[in-house]
Amino acid sequence: MRRFGVALLYAFCLAIIAGQAPAQTYPSKPIRIIVPYAPGGLTDVVARLYSEQLRQGLGRNVFVENKPGASGIIAIEEMARARPDGHTLMIGNISTNALTPVLLAKKMKIDYERDVQIVTPLADVPVFFLATTTNFPPQTFADFLAYARDHPGKVRYGSAGVGSYQQINTEILAKRAGLDLVHIPFKGSAQRSCATSPTAISRCRGSTSPILSA
């Protein structure tokens, strides 16, 4: 999948070259890849892997710039305001590339449909786990559901931000199971994983799929 994604990136770069004047070359300067999360998370790791592949393939420096916050809006707007010359890209995931543009469209200062071009999916990483601190009483998922029902408003869960797929999936679970959970948004999965407490859970569900935008 990674080789396929790199091939698509090269095809994207060749398309840019074909559309430029003959005297121009691409890339003519370092390529910037914006990541809408803090360093250390899955999307950040994928971006750094691809940046190295691009550096080797294109012979130009490729650097990753982390722009976390506002459910990805900061990074999306930064990328959209850049010159449309292929030297500024963004690698996000289903939260920033699909959910945020729909759920938080009114908070954006750009027109996502007009200003952003989705290029290609890059990776599909299935993730399904429920992690807690060692002194959290429940030992099984059934225990967790029973504990949460007996302690409404006392169990907190972290996600990569408001509107992220982790929050949406957990809220769906809470509604179906009749739970009252407290959401704690973070700027990325790496921060979330390090912030559990005796009444907090770190929960990822579904699939994290980094997606390239330009």
Which DSSP string do the residues of 11-67 spell out, in sequence order?
Answer: HHHHHHHHTS-TT--S-SS-EEEEESS-TTSHHHHHHHHHHHHHHHHHSS-EEEEE-
Instruction: Considering only residues 42 and 161, tell me which one the structure prediction assigns the higher pLDDT.
Output: 42
Residue 167 has pLDDT above 70, yes or no: yes
- Mean pLDDT check: name the lowest of 82-96, 105-119, 128-142: 128-142
pLDDT in tens, 35-67: 998 898 888 988 999 899 888 888 899 999 999
pLDDT band at 192 (very low <50, low <70, confident <90, very high): very low
pLDDT computed for residue 186 by the predictor? 75
Instruction: Considering only residues 168 and 176, tell me which one the structure prediction assigns the higher pLDDT.
Output: 176
**What is d(CA 212, CA 35) in angstroms, rounded to the nearest whole number?**
10
Mean pLDDT of the region 23-35: 86
Q: How many residues does the chain have?
A: 214
Domains in the chain with CATH codes = 2-125 (no CATH), 126-207 (3.40.190.10)
pLDDT band at 197 (very low <50, low <70, confident <90, very high): very low
pLDDT computed for residue 207 by the predictor? 39
